[in-house]
Structure 1
């Protein structure tokens, strides 16, 4: 397997885990930032450049500090803290009705992989919403404002984005219309 395929094939249990895996591929001592992981998974060109420059510290540092193709930090769901808190409360209530069950590791990896490949994924940064800062959110969805790592684990939750390759389904493979 080529190293580029290794990046594309990163299996996630969390974004933090993916950051460590990418750091290992790049032979770094510390995990990469979430925005670097997101950019590397969304842009083959950026991933290739990381691999090419991994043994040239000055170039690699520049690439790591400026992930090409990463979503702008200011872009987001546009939802305020109060609206996000209401949605989070609703998600917690739905989760409680299913006994706080979580998905198995295989489903979690599939969901996180879909989120990381989605153009609506936003890396949390200095412009993050106050609630995201409080929850230590590393990446959120621009469609719903949710912390993707937390939402992907909850068996009661659904992706709000339509899958461009599977009509009538969301990016997690679930039917869009729920009766």
Structure 2
């Protein structure tokens, strides 16, 4: 995402960011979620949005462009409800991980979310089978780096909602969402077998 828009959204939650982005480019109402997700990942698309600030007809074409469809999520068609988020104190064993995630800049989190979304797109938006998902989430649940999320809208961006929004302190991702994606891997080595991740899969760097 270009710094010009990124600065406008820094510190906002997801719905606030949609409203602020629409206001900034000159559209009424919140910016469609797929358009904002695409702008977060594609600098060229973001640049064009900003280039047509105030030109509602061209902006409408851009936010309704078929190229935005890969960034649609099931929740986009559901009625929107206000969600209250509160800060949660981490447990003693995860305090360090929480601090690490909370101190990440929104810009940095956007970059990581964008990279994950690109990898997922390259893999055909495929998800893992139920057995793999259960194995991965069980490993995450037992990991000392699993922690409560900071209040940042970027955590609502790249994947669909799940019941567990706890975050991996190693990478900043929502663990239960990342575990579903065939394109993603655990960033930590298994202490008992450094050749594998804590998910029990070959360790690779992404």
Shorter-chain TM band: 0.5 to 0.7
Correspondence for 1:160: 187
Q: 1:76 aligns with which of 100, 104, 110?
A: 100
The aligned length equals 113
Written as runs of structure 1 = structure 2, the 5 A alignment for 1:30-109 is: 71-72=94-95, 74-77=98-101, 78-109=103-134
Give distance in 2, aligned partners of 1:172 and 1:162. 9
Q: Mind listing any 5+ residue stretches in structure 2 that lack a counterpart?
A: 1-87
How far does residue 128 in structure 1 lie from its aligned partner after superposition? 3.1
Regions of 4+ moved over 2 Å: 65-78, 127-137
The answer as to 2:142 corresponding to 1:112 is no
Give distance in 2, aligned partners of 1:89 and 1:146. 11
Give distance in 2, aligned partners of 1:68 and 1:178. 29
Q: 2:202 aligns with which of 169, 175, 179?
A: 175
Tell me which structure has the larger Cα radius of gyration: 2
Q: Residues 102 and 87 from structure 1, CA distance in 2 versus in 1: closer, same or farther, beyond 3 angstroms?
A: same
TM-score, structure 2 normalization: 0.48
Contact 2:187–2:205 (8 Å) recurs in 1 = no
Q: Residues 71 and 130 from structure 1, CA distance in 2 versus in 1: closer, same or farther, beyond 3 angstroms?
A: same
